[in-house]
Amino acid sequence: MTQERAEATRNTWLATLENFRRDPARPASADIWSPSLECASRDEIGAIQSEKLRAVVPFLYENSPFYRARFERLGQTPADYSSIEDLEKWPVVDKSEMMADVTNSPPWGGYTTVTDEIWSQRGWMLFSSSGSTGAPRPFRYTHVDRVQWAWANARGMHAMGFRKGESAFIMSGYGPHVFAWGVQVALETLDLPCIPGGGMDARARANVILRFKPTILVCTPSYALHLARVMQSIGYDPAETSVHTILIGGEPAMGIDATRKRIEGLWNARLVEFYGCTEVSPHVGGYSCLAAPKSGETVSTHVMEDIQIWETVDPDTRASQKPGERGLTVCTSLNSESSPQLRFLVGDYATFTQERCACGRTHARAIGSFAGRSDDLINLRGIKMYPTQIEEAVRAVPGIGDEYEIVLMRDTAGLDTMTIVCEHADHANGTVAQKISDEVRLRCEIRVDVTVNPLDTLPKTEFKAKRVRDMRGR
C-alpha cells in the first residue's frame, strides 16, 4: 500500500458518498425524505449499490491491512468486484476474524481504514462493539461518518413519523455504544428537541416525563417495561402520559408479538425500532415506518439499501440466500469512511422481502423484524433454541410479570438442565408453572423446570436485558 494510492482511493470513495447523499438537509416530501432513493426501482437500487461497491473495494484494499491480507489470501483483487452480483465471491467476515485481528494489531486492528493522522484531522468519536461474545472491537468514527450517520438516521426517523412539535427523551447511557448517539445526531438534523436522560434512575426519569412531557421515549424494550412499572408504583398511569411513541433498540421486541403488545398497552403508545450494529457503521440498519400492521398482520422492518447491502446466508454453509428464505443477516456497509465492511456477519435471523411496502418505499424489509442472534443460540441436550422463543412462551401466559430469567445448569449426572424463573401474582398456584412449561414444550419441544416467584422480586433491567445465565461448566 502506498500513501498516494491510499489517499486517491479514499478521495474517490468520499466523493461517491457525497454524490449519493441526496436531499441532505431536509425532507423532499411530507412522507418520504428522499423519494429518489427510498422509492427507487430495484434496478436503480442495484445500480447505486454497484457504483458504491466499485469505489469502496479499492478503498478497503489500499487502506485496510485486514482487507488487503484477505484479498491476497483469496487470490483476488479489487478488479474482481464490479457489481453487487460479484459479492458472493467474498466469504462472509465474522466477529472471530475481527477479534483475532485486533489481538494481533492492538489497539485498533487492521479492519479499520482510519489512520492516526486521519483521526487527528477529523476524528469524531470512538465506539466499540459490546463485547458480548468476545473482546470489544474499537471503531474510530470521523466527522464524515457523523454527517452521513445523522442524515441516514434522520431519514429513518422521518419514516417513523417524527415531525415538528415532538420532543424526545433519550433514556440510555451515552457510553461507547452507538444507539443513543445515533438518535441524538438525527434529532439535531430533524431540528427536534431532546432531553438527555443518561445517569438518571427510573424514578427521576418518570418525573422528567411527568414534568416536561416528552412525546417520544428512546430506550431498550426491557427498560420501557421497567419504567412503566415504576410509574405505576408512584401512582401514575404511563398510558395517560404525553408519550405516544417509543423508539427501541439494543434488544429484539418488534418481532415478539406479546412483548410488543405489552409495551404498547402499558404506554398506550406505538413501538418503533432502530436495528443495526457498531461494526458496519452505526447507521440505522433497520427502521420502522408509518404503515403499521393491522390486527393479525406481521410487522416488518425496512433496511436502507442505498447505504448498506443486506442479505441472509445459510446458518451452516453461509451460502447466500434468495429473498424469502430465512437465514442469518449479513451486511456490506456502503456509507462509512471508517468502517466500510464487506459481507460482515451481523448474525440475527431474518427473512427479507423486496415487495413494495404500503408506505411506498421499495427497499427490502425484514418480515417479522429481526430476532434470535446466532451468538445467543442455546443448545440443551442437543435441542437448539433461542431466548426469543422462550420469551414468546413466557409472555403467552396471562398475568406473567415483566422480568424472567433462563438458568442453564449441569446436574451431578452430567445432564444439562434449564430452569425458567419468572414472576406471577398467583405464584403459589402450580398451574402457572405448568402452563409455562407447556408453552415452552410447544415451541421448543423440550421439557424445562419453572420457578414462579411473586411479582417484583427479580432484578429490574436498567439497560440491555441479560436473560440467560449459563452456569454449566462453572
* Residue with the larger pLDDT of the pair 136 and 398: 398
pLDDT the model gives residue 189: 96
Counting residues of the chain whose pLDDT is more than 70, the rounded percentage is: 93
Instruction: Name, of 28-37, 214-223, 427-436, the range with top average pLDDT.
Output: 28-37
The answer to whether position 122 is within a domain reads yes
Q: Which of 375, 404, 436 is the last residue of a domain?
A: 375
Tell me: do 324 and 352 sit in the same domain.
Answer: yes
Tell me: do 30 and 83 sit in the same domain.
Answer: yes
* Entry pTM: 0.83
Q: The domain containing residue 408 runs over which residues?
A: 378-470
pLDDT the model gives residue 136: 73
pLDDT the model gives residue 374: 63
pLDDT tens sequence across 452-461: 999 989 887 6
Range with the lowest mean pLDDT among 71-80, 116-125, 131-140, 317-326? Answer: 131-140
For residue 130, what are the CA distances in angstroms to 119, 190, 222, 254, 420?
A: 22, 28, 17, 21, 25
Q: Which residues contact 39 (CB under 8 A, 6 or more apart)?
A: 32, 360, 361, 362
Q: How many structural domains is the chain composed of?
A: 2
Task: Say how far apart CA 320 and CA 314 lie, in whole Å.
Answer: 7
Please choose, from the candidates 222, 228, 216, the residue with its C-alpha nearest in 3D space to the C-alpha of residue 270: 216
pLDDT the model gives residue 212: 97
Task: Say how far apart CA 2 and CA 62 lie, in whole Å.
Answer: 8
Tell me: do 335 and 435 sit in the same domain.
Answer: no
Tell me: do 291 and 343 sit in the same domain.
Answer: yes
Kindly report the number of other CB atoms within 10 A of residue 359's CB atom.
Answer: 17
Q: Is 304 exposed, middle or buried (0-12, 13-18, 19+ CB in 10 A)?
A: buried
Q: At what angle do helices 143-160 and 179-190 cross, to 10 degrees?
A: 70
pLDDT the model gives residue 329: 94
Q: Are the beta carbons of 248 and 221 closer than 8 angstroms?
A: yes
pLDDT tens sequence across 172-195: 777 766 888 889 999 999 999 999
The answer to whether position 220 is within a domain reads no
Q: Is the pLDDT of residue 379 over 80?
A: no
> How high does pLDDT run on average in the chain?
90
pLDDT tens sequence across 85-118: 999 999 999 988 998 999 899 999 999 999 999 9
pLDDT the model gives residue 135: 63
Q: Is the pLDDT of residue 11 over 90?
A: yes
pLDDT the model gives residue 176: 62
Tell me: do 369 and 383 sit in the same domain.
Answer: no
Average pLDDT estimate for 261-272: 94
Average pLDDT estimate for 280-302: 81
Tell me: do 46 and 70 sit in the same domain.
Answer: yes
Tell me: do 118 and 82 sit in the same domain.
Answer: yes
Q: Which of 375, 410, 441 is the last residue of a domain?
A: 375
Tell me: do 152 and 37 sit in the same domain.
Answer: yes
Kindly report the number of other CB atoms within 10 A of residue 84's CB atom.
Answer: 21
The answer to whether position 13 is within a domain reads yes
Q: How confident is the model at residue 132 (pLDDT cuts 50, 70, 90)?
A: very low
Q: Which of 335, 358, 375 is the last residue of a domain?
A: 375
Q: How confident is the model at residue 38 (pLDDT cuts 50, 70, 90)?
A: very high
pLDDT the model gives residue 382: 64
Tell me: do 296 and 394 sit in the same domain.
Answer: no
Q: Is the pLDDT of residue 404 over 60?
A: yes
The answer to whether position 227 is within a domain reads no
**CATH number for position 458:** 3.30.300.30
**CATH number for position 97:** 3.40.50.12780
Tell me: do 103 and 62 sit in the same domain.
Answer: yes
